[in-house]
C-alpha cells in the first residue's frame, strides 16, 4: 500500500483503493440511548437476545490477483505535477531556430532579387553617357550621334504605332499608358543631344530632329494633362501633336543617318 493509503499493489500494477462514504455519516448517533422493548423484556426474564442478523452475515472474501512471476512490487512514486522543463525548453529553442531560419531565408531572397533586378532597373532607353567618337573627324562624330539616337528612335517608332492603335478608340487607360511610354523614350534623348558634338554635315537634320522631339514631349504632356483634367479637346490636340511630330522625327532621323555618308573622315583639331 502506498504511504498515503490511496493506492494498493495487486501484484501487477498499482490500483486506487475505492472509498465508500455513507449517505448519512452520522447514522450511529440516530437512536442513541434507545433500548428496544424486546431487549428490555429479555433482560428482565434473563433470556439472551437473538443474534443480530448483521453478525450472522460472514464478511466477504477478497481474492487478490496473484503477482506476476519474478516481478517484485516497485517502489511507490507519486506522479509529479510539475511541468517538464526540459521538454518545453527544447520546444522553445526549436521555435527560435525556425524563426531565425525564416528571417535569414527572407533576407537572402530579397538580396538575390535586388541583385537580379538592379541592372535592369538602371537601364534607360538612351545611349551610354560615357565614351565619344574614337577619332576627331566629322564622320566619327556623326557616327557617334547616330549611334546614340538609333535605339531610342526605334523605340519611339514602335511607341507611336502603339499610340495610334490604343488612342484611336478614345481616352482609354491603354492610350494613357502608351503616351507615358512615349514620354519615357523621348525624355533621355534630348540631354544626350545637348552634350554631343554635332558635326556640320548632319547639323541641319539633327536640329530638325531635336525640334520635333521637343514638340512630341509637349504633345504628350498636353495629352496626359487632358487625362488628369478629363478634357477631351486637350487630350485630342496633344495626341495629334505626338503622332505628327513623332512621325517627322523618325523620318528626319532616317535622313540624318543617310547624310553621315557625306561627312569628312579627315582628322581635325590637335
Q: Which tens digits make up the pLDDT trace of 147-204? A: 988 899 999 999 999 999 999 888 999 999 999 999 999 988 888 888 888 888 888 9
In this structure, are 155 and 254 located in the same domain? yes
Q: Does residue 69 fall inside a structural domain?
A: no
pLDDT attached to residue 194:
85
Q: What is the mean pLDDT of residues 218-238?
A: 92
pLDDT attached to residue 81:
46
Closest CA to 256 of 196, 209, 211, 220: 209
The whole domain housing 30 covers 7-52
Q: Does residue 99 fall inside a structural domain?
A: no
pLDDT attached to residue 221:
93
Q: What is the CATH number of the domain that holds 203?
A: 1.20.120
Whether pTM exceeds 0.95: no
Q: How far apart are CA 178 and CA 98, in angstroms?
A: 47
Of 52, 72, 89, the one marking the end of a domain is 52
Q: Does residue 268 fall inside a structural domain?
A: no
Amino acid at each position: 500500500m502506498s504511504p498515503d493509503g490511496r493506492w494498493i499493489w495487486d501484484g501487477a500494477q498499482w490500483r486506487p483503493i475505492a472509498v465508500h462514504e455513507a449517505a448519512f455519516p452520522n447514522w450511529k448517533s440516530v437512536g442513541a440511548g434507545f433500548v428496544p422493548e424486546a431487549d428490555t423484556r429479555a433482560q428482565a426474564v434473563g433470556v439472551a437476545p437473538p443474534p443480530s442478523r448483521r453478525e450472522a452475515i460472514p464478511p466477504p472474501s477478497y481474492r487478490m490477483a496473484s503477482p506476476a512471476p519474478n516481478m517484485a512490487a516497485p517502489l511507490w512514486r507519486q506522479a509529479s505535477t510539475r511541468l517538464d522543463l526540459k521538454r518545453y525548453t527544447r520546444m522553445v529553442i526549436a521555435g527560435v531556430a525556425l524563426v531565425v531560419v525564416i528571417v535569414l531565408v527572407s533576407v537572402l531572397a530579397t538580396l538575390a532579387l535586388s541583385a537580379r533586378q538592379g541592372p535592369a532597373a538602371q537601364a534607360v532607353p538612351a545611349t551610354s553617357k560615357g565614351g565619344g567618337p574614337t577619332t576627331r573627324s566629322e564622320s566619327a562624330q556623326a557616327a557617334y550621334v547616330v549611334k546614340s539616337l538609333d535605339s531610342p528612335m526605334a523605340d519611339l517608332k514602335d511607341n507611336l504605332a502603339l499610340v495610334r492603335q490604343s488612342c484611336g478608340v478614345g481616352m482609354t487607360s491603354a492610350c494613357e499608358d502608351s503616351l507615358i511610354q512615349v514620354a519615357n523614350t523621348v525624355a533621355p534623348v534630348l540631354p544626350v543631344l545637348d552634350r554631343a558634338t554635332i558635326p556640320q554635315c548632319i547639323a541641319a537634320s539633327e536640329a530638325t530632329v531635336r525640334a520635333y522631339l521637343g514638340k512630341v514631349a509637349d504633345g504628350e504632356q498636353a495629352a496626359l494633362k487632358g487625362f488628369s483634367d478629363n478634357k477631351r479637346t486637350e487630350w485630342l490636340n496633344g495626341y495629334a501633336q505626338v503622332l505628327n511630330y513623332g512621325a517627322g522625327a523618325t523620318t528626319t532621323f532616317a535622313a540624318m543617318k543617310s547624310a553621315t555618308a557625306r561627312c569628312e573622315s579627315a582628322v581635325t583639331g590637335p
